[in-house]
């Protein structure tokens, strides 16, 4: 995604990252389906989206006093309330860098819902749910079955993004077989 003109400015406002300028908000949303449009032409970015856009030089984020925050400062701020933020960020960043549109999957019981390349949220349904887990985590057969059944019930496949200590990701999928 190439944003035209200057770097887009976002602000940390009441614990949320908001792009206040309508033209910039529209540009971010229309060119990469980043964020969630709000009334008045504003756009709310999820922490992983803001970090990804910051790391790629597309946005800056300022605090309430107008001071620009670094990637590290913003990551630390959101890690206070979400200890798994950087684990999720590793998967989000990897998926985005591969050309996928990635949106929150919270209501589906996973970290993300992922749209196939070329598909647009609102016009197509996501085909995948992705849940990031650290390498070495133990999952019971019941947990695996629950995730597969939930994904299947909403016509999606569940994929686990296993993040190792170096930040490398291996993707695993478990599917439902019928006898």
Catalytic amino acids? 115, 125, 156
Which run of H or E residues covers position 176? none
Which run of H or E residues covers position 72? helix 71-79
Q: How is residue 15 written in tokens?
A: 């614990």
Residue partners of 71: CB distance under 8 A and separation at least 6: 51, 54, 55
Give residue for tokens 């887990």.
Answer: 133
Return d(Cα 163, Cα 134) in angstroms, integer. Answer: 5
Q: Which of 42, 41, 61, 64 is nearest to 51 (CA)?
A: 61
The beta strand positions in 26-168, using DSSP E, are: 36-37, 43-45, 59-62, 68-69, 101-104, 112-115, 128-134, 157-163
H-state helical runs in the chain: 22-32, 47-55, 71-79, 85-97, 141-153
């Amino acid at each position: 995604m190439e944003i035209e003109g200057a770097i887009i400015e976002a602000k940390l406002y009441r614990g949320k990252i908001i792009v206040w300028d309508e033209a910039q908000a529209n540009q971010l949303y229309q060119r990469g389906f980043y964020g969630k449009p709000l009334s008045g032409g504003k756009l709310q970015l999820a922490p992983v989206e803001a970090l990804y856009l910051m790391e790629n030089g597309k946005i800056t984020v300022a605090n309430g006093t107008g001071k620009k925050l670094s990637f590290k400062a913003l990551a630390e701020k959101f890690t206070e309330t979400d200890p798994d933020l950087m684990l999720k960020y590793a998967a989000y960043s990897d998926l985005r860098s591969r050309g996928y549109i990635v949106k929150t999957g919270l209501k589906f019981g996973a970290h993300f819902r992922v749209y196939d390349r070329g598909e647009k949220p609102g016009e197509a349904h996501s085909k995948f749910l992705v849940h990031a887990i650290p390498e070495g985590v133990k999952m019971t057969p019941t947990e695996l079955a629950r995730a597969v059944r939930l994904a299947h019930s909403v016509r999606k496949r569940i994929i686990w993004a296993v993040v190792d200590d170096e930040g490398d990701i291996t993707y695993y999928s478990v599917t439902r077989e019928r006898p």
